[in-house]
Chains A and B, each alone.
Chain A
Amino acid sequence: MSKFLPPRGAVVVLALMLSSVATLASAAEPPEVKLVIRNHRFVPTELVVPANTKIKLMVVNEDPTPEEFESHQLNREKVVTGRATIPVYVGPLKPGRYPFFGDFHSDTAQGALIAK
């Protein structure tokens, strides 16, 4: 078996990618908004957030079962395990209403972000 040595070009590209990630990671955090999942419902069901601003949505699942925060309008799908918290970054959003739902209990877990 021949020895695998990454070519110089590949190393340079990967190094640039990783340095970009490191640079991005140092960016300032956007404002946080808390969203709770309780009894398979979102609390509150509607959240007013500032328009044209990136938001860090902290999804707190108080239920013992997992849930998936999902929104086609926000282009997000992310699973939060039972009794756990996940960040979901959205926006900047134009003014409007952006529905989201819990994919594991979509009959009850419905909500929306209102960007104003």
Chain B
Amino acid sequence: MSAATPRAVVRALFLACLLPASHAAFAGAADAVYTPTVERGETEFELRGGYRNFDGAPDEHAFVFDIGYGVNNRWRTEAVLEYAAEDGQPGTLEALEWENVFVLTEPGKHWMDVGLLAEYEHSFASGPDEVKFGPLLQKEIGSAVANLNFTFKREVGSGASNDTELDYRWQLRWRGNEALEWGAQGFGELGTVDQLGDGDWHSAGPAVFGVKRLHGRDKIRYNAAVLAGLDRAAPDAAVRFQLEYEMY
């Protein structure tokens, strides 16, 4: 099990600041934790970014730009453009996604809130597209809110693999001052569903969350995390951020 050194974390933070100018990545570096909540009539512009530092493998970085709309209190649909690069290679627009979040239970009504993520990803490279889907779970525990996502990923189209991969993301957020809240996030992969545990990796680290209210009804919402690899297959260090502009 490799632990991220402080130097690797500092390096990841520094390189994240240079993301537009650097070469590296994979859209996975910009992954986010989803919540089973939707606001009707809200238009959202979102920028996500991430950098992953590997020991002995090319570093990765990625950007995701996304425009979403809350169709009603149960369904948000989004168009997502992914830019990604790997170390030493020029970055490219990697994929266009159609992403949907469905709220299956009324928030706060039951022991746990449940939603569903469903995505179709069209790759700009020659090769198969990808379908992603999975449950979005949320539980309020006192002044904390815990989220857990599982995502099944399966290629479709010409040359598609028969494997279905499973990944997960989680976060824990302590509610306090809405401008700056503390918590933790984790990301990982569990392998293919018929061979869970083969090729898995796990990462976790501290995170910050917040909302800034602007004039009128608009808001800027953000979260960011510094992640350390928890096993040899994981990125040694990673940083990620998510910035949303919400308007009605």
Contact = CB atoms under 8 A, between A and B. Distances in A.
Contacts of A54: 108
A88 B152 CA distance: 31
Interface centre among B109, B131, B164, B166 (most CB of A within 10 A): B109
The A interface, classified by DSSP as helix, strand, loop or mixed, is: mixed
B114 to A, nearest CB: 6
Contacts, number: 94
B135 A13 contact: yes
B110 A72 contact: no
7 contacts: A1-B158, A2-B128, A13-B134, A75-B108, A78-B107, A79-B42, A89-B108
A14 B135 contact: yes
Contact of B175 (A68, A75, A103): A75
Q: How large is the interface on A (under 10, 10 to 19, 20 to 34, 35 or more residues)?
A: 35 or more
A93 to B, nearest CB: 11
A46 interface: no
Q: How large is the interface on B (under 10, 10 to 19, 20 to 34, 35 or more residues)?
A: 35 or more
Nearest to A94: B142
Interface of B: 37, 39-42, 70, 73, 104-112, 114, 116, 128, 131, 133-135, 140, 145, 150, 152, 154, 156-158, 160, 164, 166, 175, 178, 193-194, 196, 211, 217, 248
Given A20-B112, A79-B39, 6 more contacts: A7-B154, A13-B150, A21-B104, A21-B114, A72-B178, A79-B41
Q: Which 10 A-B pairs have the closest CB atoms?
A: A89-B108, A9-B193, A24-B110, A79-B40, A7-B164, A89-B109, A72-B178, A2-B160, A10-B152, A7-B193
Interface of A: 1-2, 4, 6-10, 13-14, 17, 20-21, 24-25, 27, 54, 56, 66, 68, 72-73, 75-79, 81, 86-91, 103-104
Contact of A89 (B106, B112, B157, B175): B106
Given A2-B156, A14-B135, A76 B40 contact: no
A77 B39 contact: yes
Contacts of B105: 21, 24-25
Nearest to B142: A94
